[in-house]
Amino acid sequence: MTERRPTVGLPSGALLLAAYDPAWADAFEEERALIAEAFGGLPARVEHVGSTSVPGLAAKPIIDILVGRPPESALEPYVDALVGAGYEYRGEYGIPGRHYFVRGLAPAARTHHLHMVALGSALWRDHLAFRDYLRAHPEAAAAYEALKRELAARHADDRGAYSEAKAPFIRGVVAAADPPSE
């Protein structure tokens, strides 16, 4: 189901795609500033990823954020900073090497998903490769949107199945973005 939602936020568990909203970029920049303030002097890179980071692409109106921290850094200060900034920490949440956080708990709308990984890791590279490929290849972004619309209709009551069904497309884009060296 597609619905125009001009703001950021979606009820927890809901699966609605909204037409691209340029305000998503502003919402990310506001959140980046909040994260930088929370981190103080902790070294990190903060990137806007996911469908809301691709101009023109329909998306769930939830801002996806990728935080890269130095691989040798201690995890605890980063977790404490993000929890102090209002995020809920969910641990690796099924993906080894990723530390997952959410902002907006039921009954409030979910507004942000934050994925913290080691800078330079495969997870870091894959998130950025996917985003950058879709930004540079409108035909791939259009195919991804068509797939998302189909899957949202098919899995309207099961966000896990929706996400799982997108995985082969995502892997294909990442592979195309970073072809194996010969």
Is residue 1 assigned to a domain?
Answer: no
- Tell me which residue range forms the domain holding 29: 10-177
pLDDT digits (tens, 9 = 90+) for 139-179: 999 999 999 999 999 998 888 899 999 999 999 999 999 76
Which residues are CB-neighbours of 121 under 8 A, at least 6 positions away?
Answer: 68, 71, 97
Burial of 167 (0-12, 13-18, 19+ CB in 10 A): exposed
Phi, psi (5° rounding) for residue 105? -110, 145
Q: Is residue 119 part of a domain?
A: yes
Residue 80 inside a domain? The answer is yes
Kindly report the pTM of this predicted structure.
Answer: 0.91
Cβ(112)–Cβ(61) under 8 Å? no
Kindly state whether residue 3 falls inside one of the protein's structural domains.
Answer: no
pLDDT tens-digit map of 7-65: 788 877 778 899 999 999 999 999 999 999 999 999 999 999 999 999 999 999 999 99
DSSP3 helix / strand / coil % (the chain, rounded to 5): 45, 20, 35
182 assigned to some structural domain: no
Q: Look at residue 179 in the predicted model and tell me its pLDDT.
A: 64
Q: CA–CA separation, 62 vs 39, rounded Å?
A: 22
| Mean pLDDT within 95-102 | 96
Number of domains the chain contains? 1
Residue 4 lies in a domain: no
* Separation of alpha carbons 52 and 21, rounded Å: 8
d(CA 42, CA 39): 5
CATH number at residue 163: 3.30.460.10
Asked, for residue 15, whether it belongs to a domain, the answer is yes
**Three-class SS state of 112:** strand
Assign 63 to helix, strand or coil: strand
The string of DSSP letters for 114-173 reads EEEEETTSHHHHHHHHHHHHHHH-HHHHHHHHHHHHHHHHHTTT-HHHHHHHHHHHHHHH
Is the residue at 5 inside a domain?
Answer: no
